[in-house]
């Protein structure tokens, strides 16, 4: 059975005053998935205080990894990210890493939290269609987190989608 081929990405949420944690997180992910090929612009995570346990001021950066991956690996990617988060504890986690993927039609992110709009994969991991690509733009849903609704990541996601289109055709 051929699984869908996708571009693997990860959103890294880190304390705004600690870029070393971002660099450390990228290095840890690179050991598993390869050196990221593109990075998003850092975006202040200030539309909600959902992750206030990490730090009062947070920034999110997305990274895209080289090559195409089988979409069926999403649950494994989340478990690997959880292990990296655990290594960052000071005494609570110092980063939040949300792996996911982009293809021609959507941004999918993995989560350990269940909700009505999430689909259970396995081993405590859920998948969410966070955004869809339609009419040449990224569109959110009523459940989409506010920072994604703000379109702050659209440029990055469009770059990743273009890479996916090139790679899926070769």
Band of pLDDT at residue 1, cut at 50, 70 and 90:
low
Do 68 and 168 meet the contact criterion of CB atoms below 8 Å apart? yes
Query: What pTM does this model have?
Result: 0.95
State both tokens at 115: 């909700």
DSSP class per residue in 105-116: SEEEEEES---T
Domains and CATH numbers, the chain: 5-169 (3.30.70)
Max Cα-Cα span within the chain: 46
Share of the chain above pLDDT 70, in %: 99
Q: What is the pLDDT of residue 48?
A: 77
Mean pLDDT score, 102-108: 98
φ, ψ at 150 (rounded to 5°): -70, -10
Q: Kindly report, residue by residue over 24-74, the tens digit of the pLDDT.
A: 999 999 999 999 999 999 999 988 777 888 889 999 999 999 999 999 999
Taking the C-alpha atoms of residue 103 and residue 95, their distance in angstroms, rounded to an integer, is: 26
DSSP 158: H
Do 128 and 34 meet the contact criterion of CB atoms below 8 Å apart? no
Helix axes 74-87, 19-33, angle to 10 degrees: 140
């Amino acid at each position: 059975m051929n699984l869908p081929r996708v571009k693997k990405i990860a959103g890294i949420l880190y304390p705004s005053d600690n870029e070393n944690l971002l660099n450390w997180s990228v290095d840890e992910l690179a050991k598993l998935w390869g050196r990221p090929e593109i990075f998003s612009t850092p975006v202040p995570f200030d539309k909600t205080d959902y992750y206030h346990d990490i730090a009062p001021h947070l920034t999110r950066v997305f990274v895209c990894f080289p090559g195409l991956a089988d979409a069926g690996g999403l649950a494994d990617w989340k478990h690997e990210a959880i292990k990296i988060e655990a290594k960052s504890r000071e005494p609570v986690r110092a980063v939040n890493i949300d792996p996911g993927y982009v293809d021609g039609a959507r941004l999918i992110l993995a989560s350990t939290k269940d909700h009505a709009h999430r689909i259970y994969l396995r081993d405590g991991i859920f998948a969410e269609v966070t955004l869809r690509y339609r009419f040449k733009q990224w569109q959110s849903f009523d459940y989409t987190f506010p920072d994604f609704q703000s379109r702050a990541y659209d440029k990055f996601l469009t770059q990743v989608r273009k890479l996916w289109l090139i790679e899926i055709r070769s």
